[in-house]
Amino acid sequence: MLAQLAELMPLPALMCVAAELMGAYALPPLAPPVGTARGSTTFGVEALVTKVELLHELAMHAPFPAALRALRAVVFAGERAWSPQEALLATMLALPGGRGGYELGNARVMTGISNAMTRASRVPDILLACKTVGINYDGWGHFGIMELERAAVGLGQDPGSDQRAHELAVQRRALREKYVDDRRRDRELLAAGVETLVATSEDLRDVSTLDLLVRQLIVRAEAAGGQRMARQRALLESESLAHRRAEVLASLRTLT
């Protein structure tokens, strides 16, 4: 299927499709049946295939141009993304500059970074190719703010209710625990040699905010590695490439 899509889709979009096949989410159909609204994304699903499985399947058909294009998309695409927005971000970071990306790579690891204090789940959502700087993507539901709002409204509509007050207290405690856990995760990763920055959906709204995030990533990667990332900096300074990035970002946003 991916090889067939490679005949129709550009590399960035093909990478997002590959990421969904290897990811923990499922997008609704872009074109639902007539008279029905498009559904919502399903999260927490099992990946359909692994990167190794996809690469093996495509390698069997490598002599064909479409299979080679699909193979390239899988190589660049990140595995086990938790959301389409995270996959979009990983795609933009990994894409070559001439294709509308930042050429920062994605060395996402699926096992805990070697450190006695670090839990197995303590890995960044995206790990740059330098392997010293990562990104954790916090989407709309990360802190459960909507649940907190609903609990607060419920108590406001039913003042004096012990049950409503308890529900609000539970949501407040859950938000606080999530925040504290995130800070501990950041410290544990830093102790393991990986500095993490947080990205949000707002960083994906336009290319200027995404460029700013990438500038911060480059500064931290240079500080950790001791080498200037001249090529990536040049990509950011090019007006023509900035226009290309804006086009790619806008097109990928329509897929999520």
Q: Is residue 222 predicted with pLDDT exceeding 60? A: yes
Question: What mean pLDDT value characterizes the chain?
Answer: 88
Cα–Cα distance measured from residue 222 to residue 219, given in angstroms and rounded to the nearest whole number = 5
30-44, 95-109, 183-197: least confidently modelled range = 30-44
Looking at residue 113, the DSSP 8-state letter turns out to be: -
pLDDT in tens, 29-77: 876 666 666 778 998 899 999 999 999 888 887 678 888 889 989 988 8
Cα–Cα distance measured from residue 83 to residue 85, given in angstroms and rounded to the nearest whole number = 5
Say what the pLDDT of residue 142 is: 79
Integer-rounded Cα Rg, in Å, for the chain is 20
pLDDT in tens, 131-171: 899 999 987 777 878 899 999 999 999 999 999 999 999 99
Which residues, including other chains, have CB under 8 Å from residue 153's CB and lie 6 or more apart?
Answer: none
- Residue 181: phi, psi to the nearest 5? -65, -40
Q: Is residue 25 predicted with pLDDT exceeding 50? A: yes
Greater confidence (116 vs 161) lies with 161
Say what the pLDDT of residue 113 is: 46
pTM of the model: 0.83
Q: Is residue 3 predicted with pLDDT exceeding 80? A: yes
In sequence order, the β-bridge partners of residue 25 are: 43
Extended strands (E) in 1-81: 25-26, 42-43
- Residue 101: phi, psi to the nearest 5? -120, -165
Q: Is residue 117 predicted with pLDDT exceeding 90? A: no
Average pLDDT over residues 226-254: 95
Say what the pLDDT of residue 110 is: 42
**Residue found under tokens 């609704």:** 28
Q: Which two tokens stand for residue 17?
A: 């499709």
Cα–Cα distance measured from residue 144 to residue 162, given in angstroms and rounded to the nearest whole number = 21
pLDDT band at 109 (very low <50, low <70, confident <90, very high): very low
